[in-house]
């Protein structure tokens, strides 16, 4: 198994069965947290969350990301700790299941993440 490869390509859906499972998203979020946490203090600042490409992002994209940051920042301290980050992804997965069948397809997930 070549797990962990394909960084940057957004390999969330690891087993390619067309459904994003909670486990897959949790693994992805776990990895993303480590990758984004540039200074390794186990907390994501807004800059870390926005990433190095923040300046190059289109305004709309940056706004969406900022809105996501604000939504995840449960205690409003302008930083995301691991629990907030994981909770945010959990909520995202639940919200993405638009047809309510308990399975989030990669399509549902991508649309949810985009919006
Ligand atoms: Ca940090
Ligand atoms: Ca926080
Ligand atoms: Ca569904």
Q: Tell me how far the alpha carbon of residue 38 lies from the centroid of ligand 1, in angstroms.
A: 6
- The pLDDT of residue 54 is 57
Could you tell me if 38 and 46 are in contact, meaning their C-beta atoms sit under 8 angstroms apart? Answer: no
Residues 56-89 have pLDDT tens digits of 778 888 898 999 999 999 999 999 999 999 999 9
pLDDT tens per residue, range 8-63: 445 788 888 899 999 999 999 999 999 999 999 999 999 999 987 656 778 888 89
Ligand 3 centre and the CA of 54: distance in Å? Answer: 31
83 CA → ligand 2 middle, Å: 9
Contact 53, 8 (CB under 8 A): no
> Residue with structure tokens 């993405």?
96
pLDDT at residue 96, rounded to an integer: 94
Q: Which domains, and CATH codes, for the chain?
A: 19-114 (1.10.238.10)
28 CA to centre of ligand 1 in angstroms: 18
Look over the chain and give the mean of its residue pLDDT values, rounded to a whole number: 87
């Amino acid at each position: 198994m070549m797990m962990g490869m394909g960084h940057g390509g957004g390999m969330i859906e690891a087993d390619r069965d067309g459904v994003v499972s909670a486990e897959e998203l949790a693994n992805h979020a776990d990895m993303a947290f480590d990758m984004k946490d540039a200074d390794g203090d186990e907390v994501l600042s807004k800059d870390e969350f926005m990433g190095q490409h923040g300046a190059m992002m289109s305004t709309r994209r940056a706004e969406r990301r900022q809105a996501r940051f604000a939504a995840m920042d449960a205690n409003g301290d302008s930083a995301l700790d691991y629990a907030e980050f994981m909770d945010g992804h959990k909520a995202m997965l639940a919200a993405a299941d638009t047809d309510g069948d308990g399975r989030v397809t990669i399509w549902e997930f991508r649309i949810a993440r985009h919006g």
